């Protein structure tokens, strides 16, 4: 099978040996494997922030430059991420409907609350994040 046929067949033959995530391409598996490494080889020269991928570093560097390449066609809103723009545009096109981010499935957390991955975090990374121990704290309501 070539990659195009795998896509239509829904086959993902390349498996992560750490978590079982499946991919159509070895390049996608190799990119995914970086989340399991402690090494963060890409470092911001301006502030020292480090990350695992060149893409994430480029995205981070936009926080320093102020660059926001994704612009809304309806208003003056602009942002750093395409997913954030897509969500913003939905607010214009469906103002009365609350729509979750595109391609961001909800997941159940240990406390049975429904969780949606934040826009800055890939879904698989969010899934890995949810498996980590967390401390819960109550926020007082009202005065």
- CA 59, chain centre distance (Å): 12
pLDDT 10s per residue in the chain (143 long)?
Answer: 466 666 677 788 889 998 999 998 899 899 888 888 888 989 999 999 999 888 899 999 999 999 999 999 999 999 998 889 998 988 888 776 554 544 444 444 444 344 555 555 555 565 666 666 655 555 555 55
CA geometry: angle 133, 51, 34, nearest 5 deg: 75
Q: For residue 89, what are the β-bridge partners?
A: none
Domain ranges of the chain: 3-36
Give the domain 3-36 fold.
Double Stranded RNA Binding Domain (3.30.160)
97 CB contacts (<8 Å, ≥6 apart)?
Answer: none
């Amino acid at each position: 099978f070539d990659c195009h046929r795998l896509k239509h067949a829904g086959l993902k033959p390349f498996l992560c040996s750490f978590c079982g995530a499946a991919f159509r391409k070895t390049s996608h598996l190799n990119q995914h494997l970086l989340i399991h490494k402690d090494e963060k080889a890409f470092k911001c020269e301006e502030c020292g922030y480090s990350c695992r991928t060149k893409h994430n570093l480029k995205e981070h560097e936009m926080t320093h430059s102020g660059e926001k390449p994704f612009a809304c066609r309806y208003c003056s809103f602009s942002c750093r991420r395409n997913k954030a723009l897509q969500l913003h545009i939905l607010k214009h096109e469906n103002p009365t409907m609350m729509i979750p981010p595109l391609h961001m499935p909800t997941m159940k957390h240990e406390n049975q609350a429904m969780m949606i991955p934040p826009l800055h975090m890939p879904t698989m990374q969010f899934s890995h994040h949810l498996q980590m121990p967390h401390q819960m704290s109550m926020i007082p309501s009202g005065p």
